[in-house]
Structure 1
């Protein structure tokens, strides 16, 4: 099979494309012929050697993709050959074929094709658990999303808006601000400027922060007894937080790892069906993904690193 791989950590120039052995599935795995692979910033960190990556010679990046099952192991009962599935936490995904544990294969319903599934899988499941397990906002509450036009932010803002919550946020360009407004946000501020932050301090029940370096701003934006849901460091590491200062205003910081919420086949089924239902009902729209051939994986990595992309970047074998 063809695959995108690398033999040492470094910049995008370490990536190679070529022929590698097709995976051999175990009795509890399915073999997926991949249609689309999701490219995420975590893949950049793994390529640089800054994130855990599955031990394999050579290294094959990627953990997210969608396609059709072409073979099943002897003890697989949940899937069948020909079924379309999504996976969001399976290594060695930058290849034509991926061995997927049966419990980690998410069935796609009618109306959700593999391109859409790969575009919303990881970010959508993340947005779902941020909204429904950490934020738990009530209809009518006001929330703020830093990086509202990012991969998670786009879906999160629409989930919250569909649930009757007033959504505000910040984005880096006029184009990204307009996109968030078109998705139901009440107001979107320029993230490269901060003059506006003082004018809206203390107004929000929750601030969702995937930027990291803005965590103090997020804490300032929430009310007493409000909470910051911290879920990433796209803009750099957060400052150290004094818990005594938080206690004096009854403010909380909540955080979590998606993998602690996807611990079984049943968890994946319930959460994915809830996510897919928003799309089936027309409550969420996403930007058209940018698709690169897997052969052009180096260009895809470089494009993601520019920060200019809107929406998902996909690799197509």
Structure 2
């Protein structure tokens, strides 16, 4: 089979597509014929050796995939060959087939496309965990989403609306903000042409947002936090903007507000039952039209470097996928 190979921690352009042996399912494992793999910011960081986890070299990048089970290992009884599933594996998804723990697989309904299913575990799972478990957002609260047109950002916009929040989407272009409005944003802010603090103050009548979803970091973090409501929760999700910000600790004190860390990867490992419940809810919402994940581009295996480069340069709107041809 063909797979994308990372032989050294370097820029995405050093990735190669190679022919490698087909995976074999050991006890408790399945082999999945990959139809689509989600592309995420951590994939690019992992290739460059800048992520929290450094997999042993060489490895195949890609943490989430949807496809059809082609083999099951000994001891696997709840899944079967021919079943449509989505899996989260941290690595291995940019390939024609991958081996995964059976516990990482979730069946997907026939009405859900492989491409959409492949976008759900990480970005939508992160937003779901952030808003429900970490922020405990309540119906009627105001949610400010930074980087609102990206994978996690747009997911937070949709999920925030599904949970009954008033959503303010902040992004860098009017085109991105138009997409956010299409997917439920009540108000929008272009933070390259407008003052984030002034607009937030005007939109919220000076009260500020109850919850801030922040997958961007950089200068936007402090600007947003200075606008947070009393008792607000600022969700630290990632640093797509590049810089890890420093926040003066007198600000949480004065605002009676919380800085809340969100690490979905650890949550998925530590609380698999809760994570499975979130994923099931997400699939229900997609099927009934409550949320509509955006797949804005599709890349072949040999174009994986271009997909990761687009991610690094923040040119991705919604989600993009790597599609394996069979």
Normalised TM-score (structure 2): 0.91
CA drift at 1:292: 0.9
Residue 265 of structure 2: which of 259, 277, 293 is its match? 259
Counterpart of 1:298 in structure 2 is 305
Shift of the 89–193 alpha-carbon distance from structure 1 to 2, 3 Å rule, reads: farther
Q: Give CA deviations for 1:250-273 in whole Å, capped at 9, x if unaligned.
A: 111111211232235533431211
| Runs of 5+ consecutive residues of structure 1 not aligned to the other structure | none
Contact 1:90 1:100 in 2 (8 A): no
* Residues 19-67 of structure 1: per-residue CA shift (max 9 Å, x gap): 01122221110011111111111121112121223214x3211111111
* Distance change in 2, residues 1:13/1:76 (3 Å): same
Residue of structure 1 aligned with 2:231, choices 225, 233, 236: 225
Residue 21 (structure 1) aligns with: 21
Preserved contact between residue 148 and residue 169 of structure 2 (Cα < 8 Å) = yes
Cα shift readout 1:93-112 (whole Å, capped 9, x = no counterpart): 22111111011111112322
Of 199, 208, 212, 1:203 maps to 208
What is the distance in 2 between the residues matched to 1:14 and 1:282? 40
Determine the structure 2 residue equivalent to 1:128. 128
Pairwise CA distance, 1:286: 2.6
Report the CA distance between 1:120 and its aligned residue: 2.6
Kindly report which structure 2 residues correspond to 1:241-256, keeping only aligned pairs within 5 A, or say none: 241-256=247-262
Change (3 A) 1:284 1:6: same
CA drift of 1:192 comes to: 1.6
- Tell me how far apart the structure 1 counterparts of residues 7 and 280 of structure 2 sit (CA, whole Å): 38
Q: CA deviation at 1:208?
A: 1.1
Q: Helix, strand or coil for the counterpart of 2:119? A: helix
> Distance in 2 between the 1:64 and 1:181 partners?
27
What SS does the corresponding residue of 2:238 show, helix, strand or coil? coil
Q: CA 1:231 to 1:217, structure 2 compared with 1: closer, same or farther past 3 Å?
A: same
Alpha-carbon distance in structure 1 between the residues aligned to 2:236 and 2:90: 24
- Runs of 4+ displaced beyond 6 Å: none
Offset of 1:194 from its aligned partner? 4.4
Alignment partners' CA distance in 2, 1:200 and 1:36: 38
Note closer, same or farther for the CA distance 1:199–1:95 as it changes in structure 2 (3 Å cut).
closer
Aligned-pair RMSD on alpha carbons?
1.8
Supply the distance in 2 between the matched residues of 1:261 and 1:239 (Cα, whole angstroms).
Answer: 23
Query: CA distance change for structure 1 residues 189 and 244 in 2, over 3 Å: closer, same or farther?
Result: closer
Query: What displacement does 1:189 show?
Result: 0.7
Q: Distance in 2 between matches of 1:268 and 1:206?
A: 21
Give 5+ residue unaligned stretches, structure 2. Answer: 202-206
Distance 1:245 1:265, change over 3 A: closer
Further displaced range: 40-49 or 98-107: 40-49
Contact 1:2 1:20 survives alignment (8 Å): yes
| 1:248 positional shift | 2.9
Q: 1:222 to 1:48 in 2, by over 3 A?
A: same
Q: Which residue of 2 aligns with 1:309?
A: 316
Partner deviation per Cα, 1:128-156 (whole Å, 9 max, x = no partner): 11111012222111111111111111121
Secondary structure, counterpart of 1:310 in structure 2:
coil
What does residue 55 of structure 1 align with?
56
- The answer to whether the Cα contact below 8 Å between 1:106 and 1:268 also exists between their aligned partners in 2 is no
